[in-house]
Chain A
């Protein structure tokens, strides 16, 4: 059968798989759709009134949205980097791990783009950042570079995963000369997207909290904790629900690698704290605001210490072989790592950079319910995308969804 007709069959078959499922599946999708609609309602209110409905002001001009964006770029990067140990240690099934990692990257990048979209004051003018049609300010603007590399990374992952799935769907072996170089190209690209995102902050001399050369390495170290934490939980769920044959050894190995990444992340944190505290310049203000509060303003202090405590606890849980092999402590560690890195990379990164402001003012940023709901809606979109894409992918990988089969049977449940 010709490729275009095969692709058409793939699309319609995928739609059928996505639309049918058990009661649990419908309940899960229904819940996600509810979150998405809450987000749409909240965003509509923001479009009507402007960004005044957020808690952002001139003193703290980026916040919850850009923080989530930053965190998620790390998740998208790390999801794909798991491909390296999969190849080195010959984990079976590599194919599935690659596909799931890339699908996660695609879904998370869609969320990243949505978080940028909701943050800009003039979403109607986004065409201005297109090359040719608009006036993308390369090579000067790091945000312009970020737009470029994120889009390349998005298309790369979407392309590879579509190629793999359509090939398998057509009953053909994917040509390794096509997809292996692309998968390997996506690894340096993963490092690039997160480094460039760090450079957006890093290159601002007026903001000493970000203007430290450790920022990009720290971004990568923390991303290699949070990204795999999500993958570990997903792999366990799919092991049960989709009967994917994932060996526990692979999961333990990932946990061990995460312990090393977390060690680096904590070491970088100590290095930064030492430099600021010992040299005791006015740059220390930002770190003080984060961990101790300034002038009795302590909005971030609880969050900051929660993040540190969660990260340290997770480090030990993953370092000690007995606790990383125990499913309860392993999953507890995943949740703690996610929590620790999420706080550190979102609110804990963005807000102290602005507080105190360049003129010394302390504006306590506390996201509004509207901001939170917009964010929740975007997480809903991401989860929905991943649920549906992985549902199709697993049916293809299991051989249930094939071009030569009568009709696709959606007998696998994938609760995201």
Chain B
């Protein structure tokens, strides 16, 4: 067993009038300056190549200073003829949550913060424990299971992460177009353009989107310095984030971190457009299903019993 899912921390009730006067002045000045900078900015989708290059350099410099380490930020584009798909074998998954731990590390997610007032742990993968006699029923799912050993008697496990929908409800509701599906099927977020209205979180039927309610807590020695601008680069406060099929790895021809970490071999990944790929063989040979099919979201994340 690794890393059970922490419950949503209760809100802080710290002394209300603390540091208020000074804070207001600083916030006002910084606010004006920031607003002016924001006014001049473009979303990543509207940027020319040199502008993207300049952004990457700026981000690398900013992260380098913040974490005291060298950080690389890439913008590797989708490859022609590639459409990513994921397969998950429910008969193999035993709920060990190694995928969750690997994902948190690989993707620089906010860790539990010892300062409880700012505790904002984020996990992109949520493993649900379900009862065998109830079948797949979210009503009877428990994401906080924490026994000595998994699997538990009479239970089975359903990991849920971004389903990379072909018809993503989250994308169309975004009022500023800060999230979109790339040509290789990965739904991404421009962390520099998101205004944090959380419409996408209301729209997502899979609970895949997570919000930075506080400054993310990421100790420098736990930082993964190999990042993608639309993926695992350190995020600011006040924006939404989610699984990107490990865009920084998969666009470089590697497997997602969750797949590599899975000790049971329940996780499969590949190119849906390649007839010889493992994922295509699974789709043809196994009985696959998607979550909440009736919503017509057309996920590219397929579940099957192996």
Contact = CB atoms under 8 A, between A and B. Distances in A.
Interface of A: 40-42, 44-45, 47-59, 61-62, 116, 119-129, 133-137, 140-144, 147, 200-201, 203-207, 282, 285, 353-354, 356-361, 363, 368-370, 373
B139 A141 contact: no
B274 interface: no
Contact of A358 (B138, B197, B239): B138
Contacts, number: 207
Contacts of B137: 282, 360
Give me the 4 closest cross-chain CB pairs, A-B, nearest first: A121-B196, A206-B205, A121-B238, A360-B138
A141 B197 CA distance: 12
A127 B39 contact: yes
Nearest to A139: B172
A137 B176 contact: yes
A200 B202 CA distance: 10
A70 B18 CA distance: 31
Contacts of B276: none
B187 interface: no
Contacts of B19: 48
Given A44-B27, A121-B195, 9 more contacts: A49-B118, A51-B238, A57-B213, A128-B38, A135-B177, A136-B176, A204-B169, A206-B205, A360-B140
Given A55-B11, A141-B199, A206-B169, A128 B178 contact: yes
Contact of A206 (B46, B143, B295): B295
7 contacts: A48-B27, A50-B118, A56-B213, A58-B207, A125-B38, A205-B205, A369-B13
B38 A61 contact: no
A143 B173 contact: yes
A50 B212 contact: yes
B138 A129 contact: no
A27 B178 CA distance: 46
Contacts of B171: 140
Contacts of A50: 118, 120, 212-215, 237-238
B286 to A, nearest CB: 24
Given A128-B176, A200-B199, A369-B16, A57 B143 contact: no
Contacts of A133: 39
B67 interface: no
Contacts of B169: 204-206
Contacts of B39: 127, 133
A122 B13 contact: no
